[in-house]
Amino acid sequence: MLHHILLATRNEDKRRELSVMLGDEVIIHHPDEFSDQEVEETEDSLWGNALLKARHGFKSSGLPSVADDTGLEVDALNGEPGVYSSRYAGINATYNDNVNKLLKELKAFLEKERTTRFRTVIAYVDEHGEQRFDGLVEGTITMDKHGASGFGYDPVFKPDGYTITMAEMSLSTKNKISHRGKAFRAFVEWWQNKNNTD
């Protein structure tokens, strides 16, 4: 039986990651099918922003809706960029702009002083209510960029226990250990259990 959900993001990288995890039995719909309105992330927490987007997705589509927000928390920068990670270098910043600003801010710090974590919060909204799923991965920020895969801060994020950045990993390896992979896996497990018992 085919199931339909709305992934309330226009980020094609995130859509590709979730599609791989959910498999062929789920049709993932795009927000542009229902609304051309871009939801502004106005909340001061990852959960708040994820919930804002998922609620809007459900309201506009009537489909079960999933949204996430992710933050990079760098200890040397007192947890920044955090909730502002996607727009660290400005509202229309590119991945590269954000990474360059981060490296500039950390210029005076040795790699061992660049401890950090990626945190993802996923919100799911349907007619029955709301659910939350979390994922976390610890690591360090490298001195410069490495790798061409992945997106966002992946070229400078080296997970604990690895000698390469997330941008140097295959998608399957990244999904096994990443913050978003952990959160999405928790969601997928819950979703599959839910639909097996409905």
State the catalytic residue, choosing from 13, 32, 44, 69. Answer: 69
- Asked if the peptide bond before residue 64 counts as cis, ω within 30 degrees of 0, the response is no
Q: Is 44 designated active site?
A: no
| CB 119, CB 73: distance < 8 Å | yes
Q: Can you read off the two tokens belonging to residue 130?
A: 């709301």
Residues 6+ apart with CB under 8 A from 87: 93, 98
Active site positions, annotated = 69
